[in-house]
């Protein structure tokens, strides 16, 4: 297989080596070729090849078959068609013909039949894909060859199941919810088996990072699926409250819906012929009193809309302000001057007092801001306050005040810096 084989399928400027995923498949040509030769042709031809391969590999005690034995085993097949099938299987290395004149399965043929047999063994109620992926993962774990790709397939399937179940719940259909719940219950053993595999993977300290990461995501997906059953039950309980029973017959609306679902299209069409009209008779929808009430409401709405004025008021000039409003900083400037005259240590509660609780709280916040200020670049009254050479020291104890609406407060000292005293 060369780049020329892909020339018609790749975009201009690309070759097969530019697509790593395509190169990996091209490198597995023998395996891919096995399935191509097995499944190419009509459906009847494919089924006949699978039939012959499975029967040849079915007898474990005598895996080699003579041509006469095969003709007797497949006596129900046309002899010419049987020879054609055997010839194709032999030419494509699915069936081997030994020097002793006997047929037997080749290794690629046995692998293909085994993989197909794994899929055919699942029940109709089970999810064949989930069972196959879980069984495949268990086999890889047993041989110590679990990889991120196999885990990724299982994660994708679990996420797809979650979306399917959420759609069933959102639909509000009792039949879809019951069907989805049965599907979840049928796959319970595969979910449990997958949980066991994940526990062993995550408990392995030498597991590769990409394998452990996907295994954790699979665990989260399985946790969401475990909560779906409770969501199914809540949805069914809600539907139960809305179910209608037809008189005292014991037949509910769900029974009627189930019976209708079992009927074919012709039966439903015959039932609906005289039950559905193309146009509704408006006289059946409203009587004279109802029409009069509606007309009165509509007339009142028309009169009300005409009476309302829709004109905009005339424009008016906005009043001009003499000067922009300024923040009242008189208390700040007064407190700044008071601190500038301080030459020795002063108790904190003495400095903030005066004017009641609100003024004291404001001075307390200013001193706390002064204690945290370092290299400030503020301008104006606030900048002048923060540049005062003063240290504010807060202690861990409380002091009784009993004045200016303050009972107790944090003990502290306001201390002028040495450079300021010397000046």
Longest pairwise C-alpha distance within the chain: 124
Is the distance from CB of 365 to CB of 352 less than 8 angstroms? no
**Does the predicted TM-score (pTM) go above 0.85?**
no
Q: How many residues does the chain have?
A: 423
* Residue-level pLDDT at 324: 45
Calculate Rg over the CA atoms of the chain. 44
Residue that the structure tokens 């639909």 belong to: 171
Provide the CATH topology of domain 3-120.
Arc Repressor Mutant, subunit A (1.10.10)
Domain-wise residue ranges, the chain? 3-120, 128-242, 330-422
Structure tokens at 171: 């639909």
List, in sequence order, the alpha helices (H) in 172-278: 174-186, 188-203, 209-242, 253-261, 265-272
Exposure class string for 193-229: b at 16+ Cβ within 10 A, else e: ebeebbeebeeeeeeeeebbebbeebbebbeebeebe
* Residue-level pLDDT at 422: 44
Q: How far is CA 96 from CA 42, 88, 107, in A?
A: 23, 11, 9
Beta strands in 27-99, from DSSP E residues, in sequence order = 95-97
* Residue-level pLDDT at 420: 44
How many Å apart are CA 38 and CA 105, to the nearest integer? 13
pLDDT in 10s for each residue of the chain, 423 residues:
555 667 777 788 777 777 777 777 777 777 788 788 888 888 888 888 888 888 887 776 777 888 888 888 888 888 898 888 888 888 888 888 888 888 888 888 888 877 777 666 655 555 667 777 777 777 777 777 787 888 888 888 888 888 888 888 888 888 888 888 888 887 788 788 888 888 887 777 777 888 888 888 888 888 888 888 888 888 878 877 776 676 666 677 777 777 777 778 887 777 777 766 665 555 555 556 666 667 777 777 777 776 665 566 677 766 655 554 445 677 888 888 888 888 888 888 888 887 788 888 888 888 888 777 655 666 777 878 888 888 888 888 888 888 878 888 888 888 887 754 444
DSSP calls for 379-417: -HHHHHHHTS-EEEEEEEEEEEEEETTEEEEEEEEEEE-
């Amino acid at each position: 297989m060369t780049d020329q084989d892909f020339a018609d399928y790749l975009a201009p400027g690309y070759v097969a080596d530019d697509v790593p995923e395509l190169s990996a498949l091209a490198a597995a040509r023998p395996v891919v070729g096995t399935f191509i030769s097995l499944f190419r042709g009509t459906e009847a031809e494919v089924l006949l090849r699978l039939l012959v391969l499975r029967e040849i590999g079915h007898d474990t005690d005598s895996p080699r078959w003579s041509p006469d034995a095969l003709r007797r085993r497949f006596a129900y097949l046309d002899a010419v068609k049987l020879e054609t099938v055997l010839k194709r299987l032999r030419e494509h290395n699915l069936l081997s013909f030994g020097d002793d004149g006997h047929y037997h399965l080749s290794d690629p043929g046995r692998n293909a039949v085994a993989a197909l047999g794994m899929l055919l063994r699942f029940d109709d109620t089970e999810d064949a894909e989930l069972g196959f992926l879980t069984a495949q993962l268990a086999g890889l774990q047993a041989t110590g060859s679990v990889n991120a790709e196999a885990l990724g397939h299982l994660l994708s399937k679990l996420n797809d199941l979650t979306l399917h179940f959420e759609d069933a719940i959102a639909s509000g259909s009792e039949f879809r919810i019951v069907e989805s719940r049965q599907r979840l219950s049928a796959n319970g053993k595969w979910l449990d088996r997958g949980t066991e595999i994940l526990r062993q993977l995550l408990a392995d300290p030498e597991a590769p990072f990409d394998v452990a990461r996907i295994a954790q995501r699979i665990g989260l997906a399985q946790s969401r699926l475990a909560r779906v059953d409770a969501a199914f039950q809540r949805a069914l309980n809600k539907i139960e409250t809305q179910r209608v029973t037809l008189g005292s017959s014991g037949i509910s609306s769900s029974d009627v819906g189930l019976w209708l679902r079992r009927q074919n299209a012709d039966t439903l069409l015959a039932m609906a012929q005289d039950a559905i009209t193309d146009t509704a008779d408006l006289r059946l929808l409203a009587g004279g009193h109802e029409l009069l009430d509606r007309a009165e409401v509509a007339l009142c709405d028309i009169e009300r809309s005409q009476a309302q004025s829709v004109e905009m008021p005339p424009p008016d000039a906005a009043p001009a302000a003499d000067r922009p409003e300024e923040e009242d900083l008189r208390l700040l400037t007064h407190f700044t001057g008071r601190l500038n005259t301080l030459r020795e240590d002063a108790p904190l509660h003495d400095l903030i007092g005066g004017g009641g609780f609100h003024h004291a709280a404001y001075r307390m916040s200013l001193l706390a801001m002064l204690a945290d200020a370092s290299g400030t670049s503020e301008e104006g009254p606030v900048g002048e306050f923060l540049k005062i050479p003063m240290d504010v020291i807060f202690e861990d104890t409380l002091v009784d005040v009993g004045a200016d609406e303050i009972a107790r407060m944090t003990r502290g000292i306001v201390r002028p810096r040495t450079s300021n005293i010397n000046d």
